[in-house]
Structure 1
Amino acid sequence: MQASDIAVEVPTVTLDDPVTRAVKIMADRQLPGLIVVDRASHPRAVLPGSQVLRMIVAQTYQRDPALARTIDEAHADLFWQELEHRTVSDCLPPQPSKKVAVQADATLLEVAGVMARMHSPLVAVVAPDGRLSGCITLSALLIHLDLPDTTG
């Protein structure tokens, strides 16, 4: 099985899009992240939802969950409003590491290897011209692996 066999179309974002748009798309489509593309639809990076959270949740609360517990519920539910004026670019490292993409003819092992190496919950699938042709999420990859039945 090849990457193109299980890739699906997903919405994308650009570096200039508001991060609130990205979060809304992830929530609406139940995606673990999004592919960031340039104007020519070439994948540039993956924006994992966890990276967005790392950016908006103060380091003190990340390091000490007990401290986060001291914030009352009404105020704790509003932490996401810190995203209001930020862009997708703000959520990514200044120099994104290697692209999280595979060619359409990549095997599932190649896809799994990229996901594992890059700690990415999704991988872009690119056509020979480098344009995005689809995306594979970790859950889709796991569904298509020939795993043994352990139910009984």
Structure 2
Amino acid sequence: MQARDIAVKVPTVMMSDPIAHAIQVMALGRLPGLIVVDAEQRPRVVLPGTQVLKLAVPAAYQEDMALTRAVDEAHADVFWEEISDMRVGECLGTHTVRPVTVKASSTLLEIATLMARHRSPLIAVVDDAGLLTGAVTLDRLLSALALARPDT
């Protein structure tokens, strides 16, 4: 099996999208992460869900856990609204890693190796021009691996 056989179309976001929109895209799509694309649909960043969550949590809380205990439950449930005006690109900063991508012809072993190495439950599948054609999720990869295993 190859990436093209297990890839799925996934919603994406752009650097200019609000963080709240990015979280909604991931949640509504039940995605393990997000692919941030440019205007030409080239993957620029592939973010595991934990990194998306990190974008949503204001830096002050991440730096000082004592602050999180000082916020009452009602306000703690809507903490991410504090950054509602921020864009994905603003939260990523200037140093972003190269997106985790594979060609459509990549094997399950290649995909699994990249997922493990980059600790990413989502890999962008690109064509020869580098344009996004789909994504392989950890769930899809594990299902394909389980089905590929010969009965013993």
Q: TM-score range by the shorter chain?
A: 0.7 to 0.9
Summarize the Cα distance change of 1:25–1:55 in structure 2 as closer, same or farther, 3 Å threshold.
Answer: closer
Does the aligned pair in 1 maintain the 2:35–2:44 contact within 8 Å? Answer: yes
- Cα offset, 1:137, TM superposition: 1.0
Instruction: State how many pairs are aligned.
Output: 149
Deviations 1:87-111 (CA, angstroms, capped at 9, x unpaired): 1112324232232100000011111
RMSD value, Cα: 2.4
**C-alpha separation in 1, matches of 2:130 and 2:81:** 35
The match for 1:114 is: 114
The match for 1:92 is: 92
Summarize the Cα distance change of 1:119–1:11 in structure 2 as closer, same or farther, 3 Å threshold.
Answer: same
Deviations 1:113-141 (CA, angstroms, capped at 9, x unpaired): 11122221200000112110000111111
Unaligned 5+ segments in structure 1 are: none
**C-alpha separation in 1, matches of 2:85 and 2:78:** 15
Is residue 27 of structure 1 aligned with residue 27 of structure 2?
Answer: yes
The aligned amino acid for 1:73 is E
Give the alignment's TM-score, normalised by structure 2: 0.85
Does the aligned pair in 2 maintain the 1:23–1:49 contact within 8 Å? Answer: no
The match for 1:68 is: 68
The match for 1:41 is: 41
Unaligned 5+ segments in structure 2 are: none
Summarize the Cα distance change of 1:37–1:59 in structure 2 as closer, same or farther, 3 Å threshold.
Answer: closer
Does the aligned pair in 2 maintain the 1:45–1:99 contact within 8 Å? Answer: yes
